[in-house]
Amino acid sequence: MSTESATSKLVAFQSDKFAQLAEPALDPAPGHQTVIVTCMDCRIDPYQMFGLEVGQVHILRNAGGLVTDDVVRSITLSQRELGTREVLVVQHTKCGLHGLDDEAFLADLVSETGTEPGWPVGGFSDPFERVTASVKTLVACTFLPHRHAIKGYVFDIDSGRLHPVE
């Protein structure tokens, strides 16, 4: 299936369902005062995983569920302007970045494009260690006024279980 074909189908679905999907009466501040940082992996559905509905949390997704500069920026705005107080960092087993060789990826990218990106690739060897590092980064971030309730978890793709990371 081509990208254009998939995009056309997605847009057509959305336009047919607009009245059911739009929630204009909701406040932009999430009802649960929580931010979830997780992976963009298509097998992960944070709404289903946590029994959520639109308007309850802010969900930040990227490759690997990494705490990047942009994630810090988004959490800072979420806490300071939209009233969030808690953060969940949720990574998962069998992630596409698990075991990725950053140097080899960058070498291929630079070889093909002639340009080195200004962002880290983020490959990792252990999702529990990565979550621990991400939580530590957020707890140490002085931009965040609410650093007392930042928790980390690893979601097991095979069992569906969520494992807390200390």
Give how far Cα 60 sits from Cα of 72, 86, 104, 110, 141, Å. 10, 13, 27, 28, 17
pLDDT score, position 11: 75
Contacts of the segment 54-57: beta carbons below 8 A, 24+ positions apart: 54/23, 54/26, 55/23, 55/26, 55/27, 55/30, 55/31, 56/30, 56/31, 56/32, 57/30, 57/31, 57/32
Distance CA 57, CA 122 (A): 25
pLDDT score, position 116: 95
Per-residue pLDDT reduced to its tens digit, 90-120: 999 999 999 999 999 999 999 999 999 999 9
Query: Which of 49, 48, 46 shows the shortest CA–CA distance to 60?
Result: 46
Give this prediction's pTM. Answer: 0.89
pLDDT score, position 22: 65
33 in Cβ contact with 58 (< 8 Å)? no
pLDDT score, position 93: 97
39 in Cβ contact with 65 (< 8 Å)? yes
Domain residue limits, the chain:
28-165
pLDDT score, position 19: 61
pLDDT score, position 134: 97
pLDDT score, position 7: 82
28-165 classified as CATH 1.10.565.10: no
pLDDT score, position 120: 92
Distance CA 95, CA 108 (A): 20
Give how far Cα 18 sits from Cα of 15, 31, 158, Å. 5, 22, 34
Local mean pLDDT, 10-residue blocks, the chain (166 residues): 72 69 80 97 96 95 96 98 98 96 97 96 96 97 97 97 95
Q: What is the mean pLDDT of the chain?
A: 92
